[in-house]
Chain A
Amino acid sequence: MTIKVLAFAGSPRRNGNSETLLDWVLASMAEDPDVSVQKVPLTEANINICRGCNACEKLNMCIQRDGMDIWHDKIIEADCILLSSPIYCMGIAALPKALIDRAQVFRSRKYVLKLPVVPPERKGKRLGVFLASAGQDWSNVFDAAIPSVKCFYHVIDIRDGDISYLMINHVDEKGAIERHPTAKADATRLGKTVIAELKRRLAA
């Protein structure tokens, strides 16, 4: 059994706090020999923004030819999809928002065309993980990001209850997360928990 893990690193800053958090989770997951991990930095993913043309409601595909041609298929194939983003101006950064908006094709498939996103037997066997970092120390700093994240997972057939969150505030400068008292341990534990849960569900 190979468990396919697909991870989108959403920060425009490479190897910053949110990506470090992602790397910790992925390293913990990859310790399991059954896990195959693909990490996609969105800075290199070639994803244009959604044009709002609604053509996908008729065509069941996007009219734009770009990196999403690849990521679309990978999103369907994956058992676990992770997304990491820093919080900028109280929301997710523009790069991951572009990815999320391009998931409109899945929404059209699901709700307009009434076609399956994943085969019925894979429903409930996919898990999502959202990781975020924020410079602000406000406890509400992640609130506006979550509805968009839930939408993203919802349209790719990952249920609300199957999304795990690890969001660390009060880390701003590059490397600040390394000094956080619990982030690394929490990320490591999260990786293990998600893979254990996936194995349980895939075996069922």
Chain B
Amino acid sequence: MVVTVLGISGSPHRHGNTETLLDSFLDGTRSAGASVEKVVLKDLTYTPCRGCNACHKTGECVVKDDAIALFEKILAVDCIAVASPIYTMGITAELKGLIDRGQYLWARKFILKTLYFSDDHIRRHKGLFISTAGQNWDHVFDGAFPAITAIFNGTGFEYYDNIIANSMDEFKGIKNHPTALKAAYAKGIEVVGVIEKLKAR
């Protein structure tokens, strides 16, 4: 069975460092035989979570827009790569806006108990976080990880790995980074291989 991969680009800046890194990862998965789709959040129309908590009762979001269709897509694939640059020590407002909209899945899991991912399901579904930052600080990604963990948990994906590169300001862009693009490509091949093995069992 073909491994399905969904890349989600959370940068408002098209074809910048983060999206280029995501593209390299997706190229790797494609070369390993995966069926790949990329969604650019900038092209979708969705509003931030309203915090109305209506989903706590119904398990459905009262706002019907592109965010819901995207979550349905996420739930249907084997691997997701969620990409965002670091803006002011966190993920972009665009990606945070999407992640917060997953509250209805959280409600289904923990309040209504109508959604359950088995350990085996989680093991077979791999999530990766792809990011770049201008800053050279090692801790520049720390503020992003908890929200990424939240979307992977909410949608039944194991947090497989990070593909991250800082110091973009010094390198003057991802294309000048000595290893990042190649490492992302290799990671794409690797994760498809891992998922294929798990699916064959």
Contact = CB atoms under 8 A, between A and B. Distances in A.
Interface of A: 11-13, 16, 49-53, 86, 88-95, 97-98, 100-101, 103-104, 107, 143-148, 150-152, 173-174
Given A12-B51, A91-B143, A147-B142, 14 more contacts: A12-B48, A12-B50, A50-B92, A88-B51, A88-B103, A89-B100, A91-B96, A95-B93, A103-B88, A147-B139, A148-B88, A150-B89, A151-B88, A174-B53
Interface in B142-163: 142-147, 149-151, 154
B146 A101 contact: no
Contacts, number: 113
Contacts of B97: 94
B96 A50 contact: no
Given A12-B48, A49-B12, A89-B100, A143 B146 contact: yes
28 contacts: A13-B52, A49-B94, A50-B87, A51-B13, A52-B11, A52-B12, A52-B85, A88-B99, A89-B99, A89-B100, A89-B102, A89-B154, A91-B146, A92-B90, A93-B51, A94-B48, A94-B49, A94-B96, A94-B97, A97-B88, A100-B90, A101-B92, A101-B93, A144-B143, A145-B143, A150-B89, A173-B53, A174-B53
Interface string B61-98: 00000000000000000000000010111111110110
Interface of B: 11-13, 16, 48-53, 85, 87-94, 96-97, 99-100, 102-103, 139, 142-147, 149-151, 154
Nearest to B145: A144
A93 B49 contact: yes
* Top-4 shortest CB links A-B: A90-B146, A52-B13, A13-B51, A147-B89
Contacts of B94: 49, 94
A74 B53 CA distance: 33
Contact of B90 (A13, A91, A103, A104): A91
A144 B90 CA distance: 8
Contact of B87 (A16, A52, A95): A52
Contacts of B53: 173-174
Contacts of A151: 88-89
